[in-house]
Amino acid sequence: MAELEPLTDLLETPKHPEKVEYIVDTRPLCQGMPFVLTDAAHPRLVLKHGGHFLVMDQSASVPNCNTLGFGYYRYDTRHLSRWELEVNEAPVSLLSSDTEKGYAGSFIYTNPQVGQLHQQQLTVRRSIVLDDYLWDGLEVENFSKEDLEIELKVKFYADFADMFEVRGLNRPRRGERMVPAASEDGKRIFLAYRGVDDELLETVIEISGLKPRSIADGVATFNLQLARRKPVSLEFCLLTRWGGHPVPAEGSKPGLAQAQQRADVKYHRWRAEGSLLQTDHEFLNLSLIRGFRDIYILRQPTPRGWGLAAGIPWYGAVFGRDSAITAGQLLPFHPQVAREALEVLAAYQGKADNDYREESAGKIMHEVRFGELARTGAIPHSPYYGSVDSTPLWLLLFCEYLKWTGDLDFAHNLWPSVEKALGWLDRACQDGGGYLTYRRVGEHGLENQGWKDSGDSVMHADGSLAKPPIAVCEAQGYLYAARLAVAEAAELMEQRSLAHKLRKEAADLKERFHKDFWLEEEKFVALALDGERKPAAVISSNPGHLLWTELLDSDKAQAVADRLMSSEMHSGWGIRTLSSQMVSFNPISYHNGTVWPHDNAIIGAGMRKIGNLDYMKRILNDLVEVSRHYPGFRLPELFSGFERVESEKPVDYPVSCSPQAWSAGSIFQLIQCCINFQPDAARQTLRIVDPALPDWLNRVTVRNLRLGSASMDLAVHNQGGSTYCQILHKSGPVRVIIESH
């Protein structure tokens, strides 16, 4: 069995007093119901809050037995797999939808022509709020010239599928679904499943405002008497229970309006903790607003603290690599996100060797799951540690957080975890001949364990796959940067001998790396070294991360930068993951030709490090342009790598997550680069060195920027072909130095 804490440890709530006598449902899953196989590129509407999220199709419905992950989830379990509205046996027609808040949505429907009911005689106004519960409120209004009687049906179903099942994993054995039950008064519906671990999972649907005429076979039917222009309302409240425990205590349940107000207050309170960014560019502003909202809803609770879910729908769980990168992208503008990520990843830091989970002492996890498959040990995600780079990225985040906050008490508390992480890096490098390498140990683990973790993402020039143990180039860059950053932090912690050791190890790594990874004929860096130390001599985006970590000498760094911005790598919408000239290139391959916003943002940050401001500005322009073509100006996880001349907008990748954490943080990272903060909270100093805005961006204002205990407002603006920075206000102990060369 997997060693997972029960999630009810977070709740501290009594068991629900109502006992339901369930009968096992022996019918096959979805028996008698149509199997909906929809287009793989079908758009989704997503709402999320805490450990719950709702994924709907474009009509804001959850179609039955779909293959695209639509449903209502809690902790990797689909608690509702069908939720559809019908009027007089016909689906309602969506007129408008708004899910901009991220945790709430509003929708307007009308009716089609059905029998004697003429089309567009009714409006159905629908409000959904996802707080501690899922609230779904309906207001039906009659705009015809006479009173009407209609039949409204709400169709529901819950398969209680584990997310890995939803993603296509075939299970040899499932638990027992229960026949839906209803309370005697018809105001509550109970859907349940008992897992193979004997855990009882429930979805409770509470109805208020109007009693259903009947509840049978997954359908709640209502008779509505609609006087002209006199709306009729009803509300549904959905809550989830595990082992009889609701989320949260059911006695605290508000109504829909109160839930909306409470959810808004929670968001604005969180948002007020961070900085306010404002520019003179409308589309950029909208993308920044979207980014903040997405980071907020992607915050993910675990029994050991809050982290960041990587993306919806497939990755609604805390990931080590994604949390560390995203928190760093947002760090100057909302440091609390970084603090939470550091703490939760330290809490799940590896303690002992476990081949099944690929765990080792000091190693930072890849991801943690809480669904039935993880609870029973059928998959190793309890948590799973198959990531070669989560550990150095966590160390980099720790050091950067210390630079911005100067919080030595926090640093002292986490320092034992820092030392354990360094210990794992030392042992891993000994096994890898001085490099960070990976090799899948368990049969359920990942073949590739860098950020490009699909099975075909590391290859040689002839297309053959690299054999392990594999040393991907960017992981060596993270290792190099982490050693230098921790050395600086160690001096603050008065551990000078450790600082000296780390700097020597970093210098040795840099010298060795240039000999082993540099492809002289290509004037580029190998994607990786395989198990025989043979370079994977393909042109990929991975070496762009080395610009950010400053592992390359200046001449080599510039050669890599030029190649990345050439037409074989740059599609016109952004830098591809793999050159279009490579044998393995495919513009719709997950890691072998697509464009990833976060990959581009890290490369853009590297362009700033090597002083190539034009390339940095172009990458920012790319991402802002891409965001204009997506609903709500939300950058997707990735998009296809077709040439821009082939399409007027980026071509979607079929199953891209949206929202996605490090995509939401990408533009924040590039805004950081444009301003070029150099924080040193320990010395109460903030340097801003050579700020540089693109020509199309005239002004960026940052308010409530924090350094240690101080705060300030500043403006960066273009004037006469140059960029200037002005401090508008500051309070607390801080010295701001603006350097322009």
DSSP assignment string, 623-641: HHHHHTTSGGGPPPS-B--
The per-residue pLDDT for 655 is 84
Contact 197, 372 (CB under 8 A): yes
The per-residue pLDDT for 65 is 79
DSSP secondary structure string for all residues of 331-385: TTT-HHHHHHHHHHHHHT---S-BTTTTB-TTPPPSB---SHHHHTTSSS-SSB-
Pick the closest to residue 363 from 329, 303, 320 (CA basis): 320
* Total H helices, total E strands in the chain: 16, 33
Where does 594-716 have alpha helices with state H?
A: 597-609, 613-627, 661-664, 666-675
Residue 222, Cα to own-chain centre: how many angstroms? Answer: 39
Contact 360, 697 (CB under 8 A): no
Structure tokens at 314: 């497939």
From the number of C-beta atoms within 10 Å of its C-beta (0-12, 13-18, 19+), residue 149 rates as: exposed
The domain spans of the chain are 7-265, 293-675, 682-739
Please tell me the distance from the alpha carbon of residue 160 to that of residue 46, in angstroms, as a whole number. 19
Task: Give the contacts of 471 (CB within 8 A, at least 6 positions apart).
Answer: 432, 435, 436, 437, 528, 529
CA distances (Å), 87 to each of 84, 233, 442, in order? 10, 15, 52
Please tell me the distance from the alpha carbon of residue 573 to that of residue 417, in angstroms, as a whole number. 40
For residue 223, the cross-strand partners are: 151
Identity of residue 39:
D
Inter-residue long-range contacts of 422-430, CB under 8 Å, 24+ positions, other chains counted = 422/362, 422/395, 422/486, 422/502, 423/361, 423/362, 424/350, 424/360, 424/361, 424/362, 424/363, 424/391, 425/362, 425/391, 425/392, 425/479, 425/482, 427/360, 428/360, 428/388, 429/479
Contact 731, 711 (CB under 8 A): yes
Contact 386, 438 (CB under 8 A): yes
State pTM to two decimals.
0.95
- Output phi, psi for 225, to 5 deg: -95, 110
- Output phi, psi for 728, to 5 deg: -85, -35
For residue 148, the cross-strand partners are: 226
The per-residue pLDDT for 737 is 97
Residue 741, Cα to own-chain centre: how many angstroms? Answer: 38
- Output phi, psi for 566, to 5 deg: -75, 170
Contact 48, 103 (CB under 8 A): yes
CA distances (Å), 607 to each of 321, 484, 695, in order? 22, 20, 17
Select the CATH number that applies to the domain covering 7-265 from these four: 2.70.98, 1.10.10, 3.40.50, 2.30.110.
2.70.98
Q: Using the 8-state DSSP alphabet, how is residue 315 labeled?
A: E
CA distances (Å), 577 to each of 344, 366, 570, 670, 674, in order? 30, 21, 9, 19, 24
Please tell me the distance from the alpha carbon of residue 54 to that of residue 70, in angstroms, as a whole number. 7
Radius of gyration of the chain (CA): 27
Please tell me the distance from the alpha carbon of residue 400 to that of residue 558, in angstroms, as a whole number. 25
Structure tokens at 449: 């364990």
Helix pair angle (597-609, 666-675), 10° resolution: 10
Pick the closest to residue 221 from 84, 57, 109, 56 (CA basis): 84
| Residue with token string 């199997």 | 35
pLDDT along the chain (741 residues), means of 10: 48 50 83 46 86 95 87 95 96 96 98 93 97 94 95 96 91 91 92 95 94 94 96 95 68 81 96 97 96 98 96 95 98 98 98 97 98 95 97 98 98 98 97 93 93 97 98 98 98 96 98 97 98 97 98 98 98 98 97 98 98 98 96 95 90 91 98 98 97 97 98 95 95 95 77
The domain 293-675 having CATH identifier 1.50.10.10: the answer here is: yes
User: Whats the size of the chain, residue-wise?
Assistant: 741
Contact 657, 310 (CB under 8 A): yes
Contact 296, 271 (CB under 8 A): yes
Contact 314, 384 (CB under 8 A): no
Q: Is the dihedral of CA 686, 687, 693, 697 positive or negative?
A: positive
| Residue with token string 């808040």 | 101
From the number of C-beta atoms within 10 Å of its C-beta (0-12, 13-18, 19+), residue 184 rates as: exposed
| Residue with token string 């600086």 | 488
Residue 705, Cα to own-chain centre: how many angstroms? Answer: 24
The per-residue pLDDT for 254 is 77
**DSSP three-state, residue 609:** helix
Pick the closest to residue 538 from 548, 530, 546, 549 (CA basis): 530
Please tell me the distance from the alpha carbon of residue 620 to that of residue 574, in angstroms, as a whole number. 9
Please tell me the distance from the alpha carbon of residue 357 to that of residue 442, in angstroms, as a whole number. 7
The per-residue pLDDT for 189 is 96
The per-residue pLDDT for 452 is 98
Contact 625, 573 (CB under 8 A): yes
**DSSP three-state, residue 466:** coil
| Residue with token string 């009173």 | 147
